[in-house]
Chain A
Amino acid sequence: MNLRNRFKSFIRKPHNIILVTMAVVLVYLTVIPLFTIIMDTFKVHSSELMRIKGSQVGDLTLYHWKQVLFNPANSGKIFYEPFMNTMGISAGTCLFAILVGGLFAWLVTRTDIRYKNLISTLFIFPYIMPSWTLAMAWLNFFKNDLVGGVPGFFTSLTGISTPDWFAYGPFPIVIVLGMHYAPFAYILIGGILRNMDANLEEAALILKANRFKIMWKVTIPIVLPAMLSTFLLVFSSAMSAFAVPAFLGTPVRYQVLTTQMFRTLNGLNPGYGYLMALIMILIGVFILAMNQKIIGKRRSYTTITGKSSNISLIRLKAIRTPLSVLLMAMILLVCILPLVSFAVESFIMEPGNYSLTNFTTQFWIGSGSPQIANGEPGIFRNSSIYTGFFNSVKLSVLVAFIAGTLGILAGYAIVKRKNSRLSTAVNNLAFFPYLMPSMAFGAIYLSMFAARRGFIPPLYGSFALLVLIGAVKYLPFASRSGVSAMHQLSNEIEEAGTIMGISWFKRMTKIIIPIQKTSFLSGYLLPFISCMRELSLFILLVTPSTRILTTMLFQYNEKGWNQYANAINLMIVGIVVLSNVIVNKVTGASVDKGIGG
């Protein structure tokens, strides 16, 4: 066939049009920013004029590279130390998440532990809640007098002052991030354990291998790919976490790459920040490549047959009830207690004083008095909080709608043309934003869209910019669930419609989407939730008119208006958890599928 005819038949297929369009748009929205970042590491920025003598804005320079990487006097403090801290934190978080998540997954799928449904539902809450929730709660409980102000509950109650290493720095960061990402491990490992052919284990059982041996020789090797996958996903997520290290590391000057980035991007050395962002992106890409090499080929969707494996569950016997209660207590501790503490904190007038007379509804429904917080009215009477609330909801709905819809189209087109280079490229491009540290991504979009670009008007300060960056950043979740949904649908289901002359649009809306609606809805849910609780992506981009709840929380927190911060946090958690539960109950969609379970 000649080229023209090949092109004609190529372009007639909707999935090809989708792939080409997506490739172009995603290159523009993710690869160009990457190049912008690279360029920015060689450029002089206006705030750096003082340091780089005799230079002008936009001049090429090796200053940032030299200072960050090759200056024996400075590089250690600026880069190598935070870098090692980041690596350590990420590795520790992975281990913690896999250990805790894997253990829970194994207990729920393989033993007769009680409260399985409740555990399954509650265990993913730490992921749904904003990551700083647990960090704030940790501080509420274990704060010591290092930072001044009132100590936490623990010290108030027992009189014992917590040591610094326990209250701040790497130890609590690993625990908090580990708890936040343990649901990843729970979902991925649990998914494999649930779908894995029970015959494999039973076959070993018949051969009289003992339970431990089965675990070691059969179960672990089978879940190993899922563990690796978890490891790599959690590693790259933990690496770009900002809020938690900011909350828990700052008091002891424990710096990681993201906090360094925030300081430098916002401060006098954006060039440093871009260089750190670039290095983080490179590590992320390396991790993605490894992930694909190790499990990409072997990952088999055919295992998801929905066969119920009726393997005999391990009897926990005497420890069944105590263990169940213990696990439940742990989960409640992690899920519920923080919320209680936020609620309490938002009702007390003077921090640290928990007597009944100190309780007030001022911060919720008060009209505001000049002595307290500059006369800021209570949450329910505060017009700026209403603005933030509506902005947050509007933003999350729009982002979810765009990302989710694109995710369906991407999933459809990628699977339809699977094994082709174009489809692999789009698949990777759609995942790429996952590897972009949110803060750097925000910084780049800020500079990229400050001026008119082609037909795109200047977007700085506009709501559209928030929607755009949110949709791109959360596309990975949606496209993952789209791809896995399409993998489960045989090609013939659509072709049966094609051959009857049913139009592409009708095939999508009447056949494909209705059949896989649960999976596709999950592709809307996760972007919604993530967007609702996102801080670092938007923090550089919001203006007073486009402010959202999370950035307001950050501001209240910085001003030390603790009660407002706690109240807003409670609101965010409430919206997120409630919408998750409602969507889950009504449609069966869940965040699991976006993560890859």
Chain B
Amino acid sequence: MPEIRLKNITKKFGKFLAVDNLNLNINDREFVTLLGPSGCGKTTTLRMIAGLETPTEGEIWIDNKLVFSSEQGIDVSPDKRDVGFLFQNYALWPHMTVYKNIAFGLENLKWKKDKVEERVIELLQMLKIEEFSGRYPSELSGGQQQRVAIARTLATGPKVLFMDEPLSNLDAKLRMEMRTELKRLHVETDSTFVYVTHDQLEAMTLSSKICMLKEGLLQQFDPPLEVYHNPGNAFVADFVGSPNINLLEVTGNNTNLDEVLLNCKELELMYTPVSSSLTVQENQKLLLGIRPEDITIEEGGKLKGIVYSTLPSGMETIVKIDFNGIILTSVVFRGTDFQVGKEIAVNFHENRYILFDAENGKNMGQGELSAL
């Protein structure tokens, strides 16, 4: 049973199109991230599902209930959608103590006093903030405020939890820690999470599905590894992954049976699609996508280049290699370093190099690659 369904959702601010005809099915207990550069409409989308923003067109279903329909004039108010919302700036009420912040929503539901207390204490323990219950938000650090905000959102036990870049105000170390916590919470609370971020690493590590947006348009909606290895288009390929994917501008021509000969300056590569065959026009402009980890540096490699720069970080080393003016990024998962200016040789062993149409960026297929 799909838990949240968006049908042809469109949002305009005046003439400006913030979200363009978005269709999305989010299943029960999924952890979905809305990913995209800043300004692409992630927050707007989330706010529309929560009921804080009114879509211009479309339908929204939550738990098989139509909560918004522009056609039928249905617009269920946010509190009746049984959702929780975690705001980017936490939005804690500065004049209430931590305890009161969490208890306020419950008291509003006319819970008995001892029940409220029980629930608040449970949440305080769950988020490890018991000792702060008497403090005011301004007396807490960013990470502690974040936990209070989470506790407050969880208090009423919403079935769906929306989070808008909840970790962006934390420092790198805390962010790491909170990521783990959030994943644990997702399991513990047994609810659906919809999470907004512009950080691809966060999206990759946290979610069960990534919804990739660009300028209000859906680009891809798939599990993280699928998005990573089989991106729908060059934009998605470029957005996920760090270090970035190598996108090589090439011209392609069909040769032999269904192989494609790729040319980039003096470089010549032979491309063999793995699944269906691939037809290109004569000298069609293409983009060849090569993930850095799919370039293997080895002695006796077919393609020879010169080390341009290296970034060793201990766990891995990012090497930029100059092949006669074409610079490719490779990554090596060893604590080794290379000498800049030295000659080096590489091979392409994988079968997931991607060709994109240079005109519209569409993924044309995956395949093997060999240097000539």
Contacts and interface: CB of A to CB of B under 8 A. Distances in A.
Specify whether A and B are partners. Answer: yes
Interface of A: 1-2, 4-5, 8-9, 12, 490, 492-493, 495-502, 506, 510-511, 514-515
A500 B70 contact: no
Contacts of A1: 56-57, 70, 73
Interface string B60-73: 00000000001011
B93 A498 contact: no
Interface string B70-97: 1011010111100111011101111100
A514 B95 contact: yes
Interface in B258-292: none
B57 A500 contact: no
B254 interface: no
A493 B104 CA distance: 13
A549 B54 CA distance: 53
B91 A492 contact: yes
Contact of B93 (A4, A8, A12, A515): A515
A515 to B, nearest CB: 5
A8 to B, nearest CB: 6
Contacts of B51: 499
23 contacts: A1-B57, A1-B70, A2-B73, A8-B73, A9-B73, A9-B75, A492-B91, A495-B87, A496-B87, A496-B91, A496-B93, A496-B152, A498-B52, A499-B50, A499-B52, A499-B78, A500-B108, A500-B156, A501-B105, A501-B108, A501-B109, A502-B79, A514-B95
A502 B101 CA distance: 13
Contacts of B77: 12, 498
Given A9-B54, A499-B84, A502-B104, 19 more contacts: A1-B70, A5-B75, A8-B73, A492-B87, A493-B91, A495-B52, A495-B85, A496-B93, A498-B52, A498-B78, A499-B51, A499-B78, A500-B79, A500-B104, A500-B105, A501-B80, A501-B105, A510-B104, A515-B94
Nearest to A10: B54
A5 B74 CA distance: 8
B139 to A, nearest CB: 16
Interface residues of B, number: 31
Contacts of B84: 499
B91 A499 contact: no
A511 B92 CA distance: 10
A496 B91 CA distance: 7
A518 to B, nearest CB: 11
Contacts of B93: 493, 496, 511, 515
A58 B57 CA distance: 55
Contacts of A8: 73, 75
Most chain B beta-carbon contacts within 10 A, residue among A2, A12, A498: A498
A2 B84 CA distance: 30
Contacts of A493: 91, 93
A8 B104 CA distance: 30
A493 B91 CA distance: 5
A495 B70 CA distance: 22
A497 B50 CA distance: 13
A2 B56 CA distance: 10
B57 A499 contact: no
A4 B75 CA distance: 13
B70 A5 contact: yes
A490 B164 CA distance: 15
Interface string B105-139: 10011000000000000000000000000000000
A496 B153 CA distance: 9
A496 B95 CA distance: 14
B70 A499 contact: no
A498 B50 CA distance: 11
A508 to B, nearest CB: 13
B79 A498 contact: yes
B324 to A, nearest CB: 46
Contacts of B57: 1
Contacts of B87: 492, 495-496
A498 B156 CA distance: 13
A157 B232 CA distance: 95
B85 A499 contact: yes
Contacts of A495: 52, 78, 85, 87, 91
Contact of A492 (B78, B80, B89, B104): B89
Given A1-B56, A8-B75, A490-B89, A502 B152 contact: no
Interface string B151-194: 01000100000000000000000000000000000000000000
Nearest to B106: A500
Contacts of B105: 500-502
Contact of B79 (A2, A501, A511, A515): A501
A301 B209 CA distance: 39
A315 B156 CA distance: 58
Contact of A490 (B80, B85, B91): B91
A500 B309 CA distance: 53
Nearest to B69: A5
Of B80, B89, B93, most buried by chain A (CB within 10 Å of CB) is B93
Nearest to A494: B91
B361 to A, nearest CB: 33
Contacts of A490: 89, 91
A502 B96 CA distance: 15
Contacts of B85: 495-496, 499
Contact of A515 (B95, B108, B152): B95
A8 B77 CA distance: 12
Contacts of B50: 499
A81 B264 CA distance: 84
B108 to A, nearest CB: 5
A497 B95 CA distance: 14
A255 to B, nearest CB: 51
Contacts of A9: 54, 73, 75
A493 B90 CA distance: 8
A576 B214 CA distance: 59
B271 to A, nearest CB: 49
A165 B50 CA distance: 70
Interface in B201-241: none
